[in-house]
Structure 1
Amino acid sequence: MVGDYEIEDHFFKKLFNSFLNQYHMENPKFKSVAYEIDIYNTLRKRVKRNLAGKQLKYGGVSFWLKGLCWLLVTYISYTLLFQTDNGLLFWIYYVLFQMAGLLVGFSFGHDASHNTAFKNKKANQVLHFFSFLTFGIDPLLWGLRHIRSPHLYANVEGSDIDIDKNPFLRLAPSHPWTKKHAIQHIYAPFVYMLALVYSVFMGDWIYLFSKDYKWMRSGVSKNEMLIRFFLFKIVYFSLVLALPLLYSNFSISFVVITYLSSSAFTSLLFVVMLVGTHFFDEAEYYEADENGLESSWAVHQLKTSCDWNPNNAFARFLSGGSNCHAAHHLFPNICHTNYHKINSIIEEITKEYGLPYHKKSLFAMMKSHFKHLKRMGKLYY
Structure 2
Amino acid sequence: MAPNQGSSSGLSPKNPSSFPGIYKYPADRNLPFKNGYQWLAGKRKDDDIGKLWRVYDKLYNLESFAHKHPGGDYWIRLTQGTDITEAFEASHVAHVKKVEEILAKYYVRDVEFPRNSPYTFKQDGFYMTLKRRAGPILEEVGTNSTLQIRLMIDGLGLAYVLLSFFGVFLNSTLLQILAGLDLAMLIIAAHNFFHMRDNWRKFYYDFSLQSSIELQISHAISHHLYTNTVMDIEISNLEPAFEFLPKEKTFLKRYAPGVYAHLFYIVSFFLDLIKRGRAIANGTQQLRPENLIVFIQLAVWMLIAPSVPTGIYSWLFIHAVASYWFMLVAVGGSAHHHPSCFHDGDEARNEADFGLCQLDAIRDRSDDLHQTLFVILTTFGAHSLHHLFPTVCHSKLHHLQEVYEQTLKEFNEEFHPVSQFELFLGMHKQLARVEALPHPAEIKKQK
> Which bin holds the TM-score, normalised by the shorter protein?
0.7 to 0.9
Query: Which residue is equivalent to 1:218?
Result: none
CA RMSD of aligned residues (A): 3.7
Pair 1:259–1:128, CA change in 2 (3 A)? same
1:333 shift after superposition: 1.6
Does the alignment pair 1:346 with 2:404? yes
Query: Which residue is equivalent to 1:355?
Result: 413
Q: Deviations over 1:313-346 (max 9, x none)?
A: 6753134272111111111121111223334543
Task: State the AA in 2 paired with 1:298.
Answer: G
Match of 2:234, SS? helix
Identity in percent: 18
Structure 1: any 5+ residue segments left out of the alignment? 1-10, 215-224
Match of 1:53, SS? helix
Task: State the AA in 2 paired with 1:98.
Answer: G
Query: Which residue is equivalent to 2:144?
Result: 58
What is the distance in 2 between the residues matched to 1:136 and 1:162?
A: 17
1:12 shift after superposition: 8.0
* Structure number with higher helix proportion: 1
Contact 1:310-1:324 within 8 A present in 2 as well: no
Contact 1:169-1:184 within 8 A present in 2 as well: no
Contact 1:309-1:360 within 8 A present in 2 as well: yes
Q: Deviations over 1:191-226 (max 9, x none)?
A: 222221211222x34665779xx7xxxxxxxxxx62
2:193 to 112, 115, 126: 112
Query: Which residue is equivalent to 2:267?
Result: 194
Q: Deviations over 1:99-145 (max 9, x none)?
A: 222322222x22332234xxxx3xx1x3322x023312122122122
The count of corresponding residues between Structure 1 and Structure 2 is 333
Query: Which residue is equivalent to 2:329?
Result: 273
What is the distance in 1 between the residues matched to 2:399 and 2:407?
A: 13
1:284 to 321, 324, 342: 342
Contact 1:184-1:374 within 8 A present in 2 as well: no
Does the alignment pair 1:308 with 2:389? no
Q: Deviations over 1:36-79 (max 9, x none)?
A: x5322332344346666223x11111121211221231122123
Query: Which residue is equivalent to 1:100?
Result: 182
What is the distance in 1 between the residues matched to 2:139 and 2:192?
A: 21
Pair 1:163–1:209, CA change in 2 (3 A)? farther
Q: TM-score, normalised by structure 1?
A: 0.74
Contact 1:273-1:323 within 8 A present in 2 as well: no
Query: Which residue is equivalent to 2:158?
Result: 72
Within-5 A mapping of 1:130-279:
131-157=204-230, 159-164=231-236, 166-174=239-247, 177-187=249-259, 188-202=261-275, 204-205=276-277, 226-228=286-288, 231-239=289-297, 241-250=298-307, 252=309, 254-275=310-331, 276-279=334-337
Query: Which residue is equivalent to 1:128?
Result: 202
Task: State the AA in 1 paired with 2:130.
Answer: L
Match of 1:306, SS? coil
Contact 2:301-2:315 within 8 A present in 1 as well: no
Query: Which residue is equivalent to 2:94?
Result: none
Task: State the AA in 2 paired with 1:111.
Answer: N
Match of 2:210, SS? coil
Contact 1:67-1:104 within 8 A present in 2 as well: yes
Query: Which residue is equivalent to 2:353?
Result: 296
Structure 2: any 5+ residue segments left out of the alignment? 1-53, 61-75, 84-113, 438-447
Q: Deviations over 1:71-102 (max 9, x none)?
A: 23112212313542xx4xx2222222232223
Contact 1:114-1:332 within 8 A present in 2 as well: yes
Q: TM-score, normalised by structure 2?
A: 0.64
Match of 1:32, SS? coil
What is the distance in 2 between the residues matched to 1:111 and 1:185?
A: 29
